[in-house]
Every structure is written in C-alpha cells, then in structure tokens.
Structure 1
Amino acid sequence: MKSNDNRFEDQLFLEAAKLWNLEKLYIDLAEQKPRGTGRETKLTPVGKAILRGLLCGHSPKNIAAALHWAPGTLCVELTKGLYRYVETLTSRESNTLKNWRDISKWLEAAGYKTPKHRQDWGDAPDNSVFYGRTTELDILKQWIGEQQCRLVTILGMGGIGKTSLAAKLAQEIQGEFDYIIWRSLRHSPPLNQLLINLIEFLSNQQQCNLQQDTKVLISRLIECLRQHRCLVIFDDTQMLMRRCAHAGQYREGYEDYSELLTQVARERHQSCLVLNSWEKPLQMELLEQETSYVASFKLRGLLPEEARKILAANSLSGKDEEWEKLIQLYRGNPLALNTVVSTIKDFFNHSVSEFLTWNAVLVAEPLQAKLIEQLNRLDVSEMEIIRYLARKRTPVLREELRNNIQLGSDSKLISTLKSLERRSMIEKITERSQTFFTISPVVMNVTRENYKIELPYSTSRLLPTSSSYLITNKLSIG
C-alpha cells in the first residue's frame, strides 16, 4: 500500500544529488511523458524518489520497501512509466530496458552523471616556492574564465617561468574544471598516441579500442571537451617544431598537431587547451584573427619588486640600486636569478655589491643548457643576426642590421627578425621614432662563449662558471 504521507518521499535517496544532475534529469524525463493522457507533465515526488533510488544502486524491491509499496506495484509503475521515459530520452528502441541496473548506465552514457573532479598532473612542477606573476595570473584567469578561451599559448624564452606559471594557474582554477590534465611534449609523442591517452582518461576507460584515424580521434576528443569542462596543458610544445627553420613550423610527421589546434580553436566546447612554448606556432596568428576564443601571452621577466623577493629570501646584501642592477642584468629571469643568487652566496659572501664589481654575466648550467638548446634551433639567417648582436654592447638600429647583414632581400631580413621575436630571442626598442634591436646579456654571454664570436678588445671579461660544458651540435657559421 502507498503511504498517506505525501512529503516523506522527498527525503529518500538524497545522496543521488552528489553524483547526478537531478534537476535536469527531472525536466528531461518529464518531457518524455505522452501528451494528452491526462498525466502530469512533470515527475511526481514519488517518481523522483524512485529514480533517485535506482541511481543510487537500490533494487526495485528495496525501493518498494522504503516507499511502503508492494514490489509488484512498483514493477508495474516502472514498466509503464520510468523505463519507457528513459528509453525515449536515450534514443533506445521501445521495451528494450529490461534490467533496472541499465537505468544508471544509460543515463551516465547520456551525460547526466556529474563527473568527479579527476586530475592527472603528469610531471607538472611542485610550486611550493613561487614569486609574483599576479598580473599575469589575473590576465590568464580572465581569458580562461570570463572570456571562455578555448586555446591559450604562453610564450617565452627558456627559464622565464612558463611551466611554473601554467602549473600555478592550473592549481588556482582547478575548482572550475571537471578534469585537469598535464602532458609534457618534450619527447614529441605522435599525435594519435597522445589523443588516445587523453580520450581514455576523459572517458574513464583504460582500453577503448579506438580507431587510429586522426580525424576520428580529434572528433572524439572534441566531444569529450564538450561533455566535460577540462583544462589540458601541453608543456614544451616547441619540441613539435622544426629545428634550423624559422619559428613555428611543424616537424615532418607532426603536421597533424596543426589540425588539432585548429579544431580546438574553432569547434564549440567548454574546455581550454593551454600550450607552453619557446616559439609560437604559425597558425596561432591566423586563429587569433579568426576568433576571440584564442589568445597568446608573451611572458617576460619578473617585475623588480617581485624579483627582489628572490634576493631577500636568500639573505643577499646590497643597496637598492645594486639589487636593481642585478635584476636588470638578468632581465628578471627567475631561473637566471636563482642560479646567480647561489653563486653570490657561496663565492661573494652574500654581497651583490662585490659580485657586480666583477662586471660579469654568470650563466650557470641549468639556464646555459636551455639557451644552447634554443640557439641550436635557429636557422642560418637567424643565427647570423644573433651573432651580430652578440658582438655589440649597445642596441643596434634597424638600418644598421639592413646595411651589415646580407640575407638577400629586405623581406628576408624582416621575416627573420619576426621569427626571432616569435622565439623571444631578441629585444625590440622604439625610441624617438627609431627602432633598435638587441639581445639580453645572458643570451649575449652564451652566444659569445659557445659560437665562435670574435669580440672587440673592450668586451667585458666573463666570470668563469664552476662547471665545464661540453657543447655538441654547435652551429658552424662564418
């Protein structure tokens, strides 16, 4: 017998709300009711309770007991009502739902189950120590949150802090996403391999028997990005790009990544793909013009007040202007500052003033290795410009480059400068309607030490590092 209490059903099986989008289910199932039968056009409190019980894994017999119904009465109710509504809602043939356990399976496949927050941080760094970047984080959060950007690229030279920034960003906005996925592209995984890995994770399956057709896999991934709100980060994206060619061109065999980025940018979905890279993929400029859902952020050094925290945390001594000089010398590069701070502590008794008297630019092993790797990616024309700028101690006028570097045409010179700018390898300065180019003291140091640069007699002496470097695959230019 049905209970005379018309309200107690509302309190049954409420735990279903933790895993299921109940309000949407109530509405969508009610819309499957036959019209013109005199029935209510929405689910009754009892109908909702029965649905919640099934979603929680309770059998019809147990649900009937909780409702004080006879089991046979509930089975009739299910057969005439809820089973048929679920069939229609999930586009199944009539009378194919025979087992009550299929209710949750079919509705989950239809997207009504609220996904648990799943995260795979891969080899993302531990940001237990992180300085500054408040403005950068605010901009990226606005792009991803308010503007709903689908594709965001963080660009910058080695050691500038792209990976740390992306990890910090993901940590701070993880609550807005159903899935967080971090993947390193340092070892250049084939696209299909990466797509299958992502799809399996996003669809909670260990083995999907997915097709190897790239277009099909991209479509499957986009469908996952529509179904759930996902934040996907690709670190070291530059490893997909060609060496010894202008920036942003894909390596042979990796051109299909271009199609992935294009589809992520153009297709409608609720997720965001973040790329970290030394160089900007060429297609990004076109995509940025096509849609407001694509954006690129060029990461520069820490602000002076942020960089000062690194020096203060390491108990360095010195006047304000000496700290400022040290920060400017390394352009606020966090990796460069952290490595030089260690040397100042060990060899200069924590004194910035003593270190600066050496008039030296120290580039320790971690940053040196990154910059050599980046320099080895340049093509001949790019390296010719870098070598020329490395000989100079002051910024060079654009016209000087035009007169002294023969690349065959003005257009080749311009395209080469643009490529170097996309790599964040050169600095452009505009002053009194004149354009100057230079490279940072750190890049200048590494270029001079490792690429056979003939220096003027007045060149500042360099502080030897504590390690010897065996540089392989150097470019032999000039």
Structure 2
Amino acid sequence: MNVTEMLQFIDRLVENQTGKHLDDLQKNIVQGLWEGKTYQQMAEDIPGRYSENYIGDESRKLFKVLSDALGDEVKKANFCWTLERAVNSPLVGLVNGDLTWCPHPDRQTTSTEAPKPTPTGPNHDLSLAPKIRTFCDRTTELSTLSHWLCNQNIPLISVVGIAGIGKTTLVKRWIDLNLEEFDTIIWKSIPFSPSLNTIIEDILTTVNPDTLLTHPLLTQLFQLLRDRRCLLVLDDFQHIFIPGQLAGHYKPEAQDYHTLLTKITEIDHQSTLLVISQEKNQQMMALDAELYPIKCLELGGFDSTELLKGVGLGESDSALQILKNYEGHPIYLKQISSLIQTLFSGNIAELFAEDHLILTQTMQTRMKTCFNRLSPPEQQIALHLSQSALPISREQLRADLSLSSTDLINGLDSLKRRFLLTSIETERIAFNLSPIFREYVRSLS
C-alpha cells in the first residue's frame, strides 16, 4: 500500500464517520505520519505556519475519528500498522466505490472457547530503569535513536560502549522524551533476571495479567509484538556472554537469546528489541545489515569543552589533555576533577607531575572486571601492548607473540568489540590499548 491508497482509505473512513472529507491539513498529517515524521517535522513542512502543538492536537482529533470508525485504538505509535491491518482485514471491503467496515461482527462463542481480552492503552514497566538526574548533551545520538525507532521502525537495535559511558542513561532519556511512541515499553536488566523464559513471562503478564502462559513462550511473545507496538529493552546484555572467551559468545544456558535475536529480525511485527551491552554481539555482527533490519549505536566519550566546564576543569590546554587521557568519560572526568580539588588544591599541573596516568579506585575496579573477562590470547596481546609507548603493527605482534595468526586476529577483533583497543592507520595499521585500560594492564606486569 502506498500513501495515495492510504489517503483514499482514510478519507472514506472519515466521510462515513463525520460526513466530511479530509481537509488539506489532515491529508498532510496523514502523509507525515505515513513517512514517520515527528509533529515538529510536520509543522516545518506543512504550508501555513502551524505550530507543533497544533499539529499534535489536530492529529489526536483525527485519531479519535479513526478509532471510533474502526473500533480499535489509533494513535501516532500504531497509526500505519493499525490502518494497514484494517485495509487487509476480511472485515473491510469496497463495493461500487463505497467502503464497508464491520469492526464488531456477530460471533458465537462456544463453551470451550472464551474470548481473549485485548489489552488497550499504554502499558509500561520501567521499574528497573534508572532515574535520570543529570544528562550530558547527546543530541545527535537521541536523534539517531528517534530516526531508527520512529521513522524506520528498526526491529533490533544495540547500544554499545565501555562501562559507565552513558548507554543506559541515553536510552532511558530517549524513553522519557518519547513515551507516547509505543503502546508498551518494558525494561529488563539481565543481572536481575538472566532467564529469557522468565523475562517473557514477565512481559506477557505485565501487558495482560490474565494471560494464560503456554509453550513455546516465544510464540506468545511475537503475537504480542504483532498486536501492540512494543519497545523491549534488555540492559547489561553482556552478562549472557561467556567470560574468559572472545567477546559476544553466548553462555550455553543463554542460547535461546540467539533464537530471539534472529526471529526478531525475520518475523513480521511492529515492535523493537533494544539491547544495551559493553560488548558487541558476535551474532548481530554476523547478520548482514543489507538483509536484516538491524542497527548498532556505538557510544563514545565526549570531546567538547562543555563537559570539562561541567565538572569544573575549565578549558585550558591541560584540561583538554585530561579530556583526551580519560577518553571523554563523564564519570572518570568527574572523579579526576574531584581528586584535583581535594589533593592538589585545584592545581591541574600537580596531576601532570605524576609519572603515570592516575586511576581512581572505580577505574581500577572496572578495568579489572574488563581484564578478567578477556580470553587468554586477548590477555597476552593486552599485556604486550601495555609495555610499548608506541602503537604496534599486526606484523610486529605476530613476531613478538607465540600466537597463531587466527588467535592473533581474533584476539585483536575481540578487544575492539570490547572497546579496549584503538587502531591507527599510517603506512601500516598499528594497535594500542585505550589509555585507561593500558595503564591498568601495565600495572599488572
């Protein structure tokens, strides 16, 4: 179905319901909704200098008319899906150009078949999501998520980056700003509930407490994802990966997550699964983005002076060097700023008088966790790289280390997928550890 056919269908629905055809503004709103535009984008594109709030109000009036006509709730989040489903329904037909629609056909219910209650209205469970108290500027990343979630309706998204960089905060901030985009938003944290079956049971009963759980649960879940526009968030996804092996490989007891991620991209539905992880998922990397509708947002540190001013470091050259040394990490920069104030009386130069990069206890704890999750080849590579002041080429690493070419390549790739390795392209590609991780690993020797 194209936008012209959708406009014709909606025009007939509105005429049947109100006796009037769509006006020009309503037609523009329908086209904007079909193209996945926000109310602000519509206000900018539609001739007539309408405000964002006015476009939103007029859209909601149209949703009310369509909901009454179809006997099914229509809103911005499910607009395209609900109308397409109505068009393809056996209950709608065109007779001599007239629209016939029977939203509530007479049905007989046998004694052995009870009608299934259909959940209506928003139904969110964000009890395990963090409360956002401060939020650093991530305007570009928020816009990217909006484009993927609202315009492209991507079914599988990952937000990845090192611990503490702000992945969870970013996703929760987006949700706080866009609650109306989904019928159901449910946030689950893997450390609290690693079993996928338990998570699915919680999701189903959250949406409808009267749900009769039957196996396979995945079948019930995908029925829900078809019926309602859901956003399911799985935080700390790295906890289902095996420590001590290459990044992103599932634990034996977590193989059902592999099935979930595959099916979420293959089965037709109107929902999104968003995973937050400190490691890139090997499975998602193996899926061809040309064939599978998936997206990955890599979250890095900040490179603006606004963060430096926010933590009290100012904009001096020394402060900019601190920003680089600590990779623009908001938590680490705040800790270093506090350290400078309490130990060095606010004198940044005293920090640089130390002969090595200062790691706070929090940094050491997190780097220890990272190192302990590495496979033996990764640990060997990391220990060797930490001893060099300069980046080392792959050829030199192969000559220096007793690793096979396969182990070396896979080890370097895995370190990159954990965001612990940087590469520099000159005449040859050379590798180095991220500054904080490098300092920690060097201390182990």
Q: Using structure 2 for the length normalisation, give the TM-score.
A: 0.75
| 2:202 paired with 1:197 | yes
- Give the CA deviation at 1:381: 0.5
| Deviation per residue, 1:290-345 (Å, 9 max, x gap) | 63520112221112x1xx3333234335x521111000000111221122122112
- Give the CA deviation at 1:177: 1.1
Counterpart position of 1:143: 148
Q: Note the 1:25-424 alignment, pairs <5 A.
A: 25=71, 86-88=104-106, 92-93=107-108, 109=117, 115-187=120-192, 189-202=194-207, 204-205=208-209, 208-211=211-214, 213=215, 216-289=216-289, 291-303=291-303, 305=304, 308-317=305-314, 320-407=316-403, 409-424=404-419
User: Aligned with 2:384: secondary structure?
Assistant: helix
Contact 2:94–2:100 (8 Å) recurs in 1: no
Counterpart position of 2:69: 23
* C-alpha distance 292-351 of structure 1, shift in aligned 2 (>3 A): farther
Question: What is the aligned-residue identity percentage?
Answer: 28
Unaligned runs of 5+ in 2: 1-16, 19-60, 73-82
User: Aligned with 1:135: secondary structure?
Assistant: helix
Counterpart position of 2:22: none
User: Aligned with 1:254: secondary structure?
Assistant: helix
- Give the CA deviation at 1:169: 2.1
Q: What is the rounded CA distance, in whole Å, between the counterparts of 1:34 and 1:359 in structure 2?
A: 79
Q: What is the rounded CA distance, in whole Å, between the counterparts of 2:292 and 2:196 in structure 1?
A: 26
* C-alpha distance 344-266 of structure 1, shift in aligned 2 (>3 A): same
| Deviation per residue, 1:147-194 (Å, 9 max, x gap) | 211101111121222111221222222221112211111245211111
Q: What is the rounded CA distance, in whole Å, between the counterparts of 2:290 and 2:421 in structure 1?
A: 28
Counterpart amino acid of 1:364?
A: T
* C-alpha distance 391-117 of structure 1, shift in aligned 2 (>3 A): same
Counterpart amino acid of 1:430?
A: E
Q: What is the rounded CA distance, in whole Å, between the counterparts of 2:358 and 2:223 in structure 1?
A: 50
Q: What is the rounded CA distance, in whole Å, between the counterparts of 2:93 and 2:346 in structure 1?
A: 81
Counterpart amino acid of 1:222?
A: F
Unaligned runs of 5+ in 1: 1-8, 44-81, 98-104, 454-478
What value does the CA root-mean-square deviation take over the aligned residues? 3.3
Q: Using structure 1 for the length normalisation, give the TM-score.
A: 0.70
* C-alpha distance 121-366 of structure 1, shift in aligned 2 (>3 A): farther
| 2:428 paired with 1:448 | no
| Deviation per residue, 1:357-382 (Å, 9 max, x gap) | 32442222333322211211111001
| 2:421 paired with 1:426 | yes
Counterpart amino acid of 1:226?
A: R
Contact 1:31–1:42 (8 Å) recurs in 2: no
Say which one has the larger Rg.
1
Counterpart position of 2:432: 438
User: Aligned with 1:363: secondary structure?
Assistant: coil
| Deviation per residue, 1:371-425 (Å, 9 max, x gap) | 2112111110010001111112221122111111111x21221111111111112
Contact 2:308–2:323 (8 Å) recurs in 1: no
Q: What is the rounded CA distance, in whole Å, between the counterparts of 1:41 and 1:421 in structure 2?
A: 57
State how many pairs are aligned: 371
